Amino acid sequence: MESPFKANILKGKVALITGGGSGIGFEISTQFGKHGASVAIMGRRKQVVDSAAASLQSLGISAAGFEGDVRKQEDAKRVLESAFKLFGKIDILVNGAAGNFLVSPEALSPNGFRTVLDIDAVGTFTMCHEALPYLKKGGLGQSLSGGGIILNTSATLHYTAAWYQINVAAAKAAVDAIGRNLALEWGTDFDIRVNGIAPGPIGGTPGMSKLVPEEINSKAKDFMPLYKLGEKWDIAMAALYLASEAGKYINGTTLVIDGGLWLSRPRH
């Protein structure tokens, strides 16, 4: 679908997108690139990030892939340094990397719980922490007049409770708290805006195929009145809005992009 935004709204900006090689992250990478940004993609699988970067380059977008795991502080540091060396600055950090699997609390080992917290919550904090020298007002490659932007990826399942996703729910609750606290402290001290995006069920994503089995998806309309799948494009447009000047007064919020699903209740 064609973008409603002008093609230059991120012109001259450099974005680093974790988990940017596949799924929703790749759509954000693509749309940021199509709207003028240079894009650094970070992910655990070298082949995935390299081929994602190559497909952006084939669209004329300045892009590079960097292998790295957000659970490793040294990877975060190295990838940020490499992206900075290549592009000369970093304006936007998108924390898109996430892990998940469906499991009941009684079958989940503490290490399985910790693994998702490590990727989503600690990984988000680690990336923010290591990116601060680049994102802050007057930081490496930044002007003295303004700082950069952080976009975290959240969800809505922790607003209520979700079956078999205790680890993801706990992790995303932490991601929201990290976002609000950084928005307060880094907004004040460093002129960095920190916001979140909370996708609902989005078609054609690993999250959908792993977390929403087809038999549930096909029956969902029966008990969730507003249930319909979103597109990766919907999430990327919200990310663009928050990352562009259009969102310059938005700080510390999480934008839910789910067609109203999480509020929906059956009619009685």
| Closest CB to ligand HXC among residues 151, 211 | 211
DSSP, residue by residue, 92-145 = EEEE-------B-TTT--HHHHHHHIIIIIIHHHHHHHHHHHHHSTTSTT--SS
- What CA–CA distance (Å, rounded) separates 19 from 153? 10
| Closest CB to ligand HXC among residues 94, 168 | 168
> DSSP class of residue 5?
S
| Closest CB to ligand HXC among residues 101, 233 | 101
Give the footprint of ligand HXC on this chain (CB under 6 A): 23, 98-101, 103, 108-109, 111-112, 115-116, 155, 157, 168, 206-207, 210-211
Q: How far is the CB of 173 from ligand HXC (least distance, A)?
A: 12
| Closest CB to ligand HXC among residues 118, 191 | 118
Q: How far is the CB of 145 from ligand HXC (least distance, A)?
A: 36
Q: How many residues does the chain have?
A: 268
- What CA–CA distance (Å, rounded) separates 14 from 130? 16
Contact partners, residue 79, CB within 8 Å, separation at least 6: 16, 40, 42, 66, 68
| Closest CB to ligand HXC among residues 142, 154 | 154
Q: How far is the CB of 138 from ligand HXC (least distance, A)?
A: 34
Report yes or no: 136 and 147 within 8 Å, Cβ to Cβ. Answer: yes
Cβ-count burial of 12 within 10 angstroms (0-12 exposed, 13-18 middle, 19+ buried)? exposed
Q: How far is the CB of 102 from ligand HXC (least distance, A)?
A: 7
Q: How far are the Cα atoms of 10, 87, 227, 259 from residue 216, in angstroms, in the given order?
A: 39, 44, 11, 18
**Side chain identity at residue 63, one-letter code:** A
Q: How far is the CB of 190 from ligand HXC (least distance, A)?
A: 28
| Closest CB to ligand HXC among residues 10, 166 | 166
Q: How far is the CB of 266 from ligand HXC (least distance, A)?
A: 20
Q: How far is the CB of 62 from ligand HXC (least distance, A)?
A: 26
Residue of 156, 93, 158, 163 lying closest to 129 (CA atoms): 93
Q: How far is the CB of 45 from ligand HXC (least distance, A)?
A: 10
Beta strands (DSSP E) in 200-238 are: none
Report yes or no: 181 and 212 within 8 Å, Cβ to Cβ. Answer: no
**Side chain identity at residue 206, one-letter code:** P
| Closest CB to ligand HXC among residues 58, 160 | 160
| Closest CB to ligand HXC among residues 139, 201 | 201
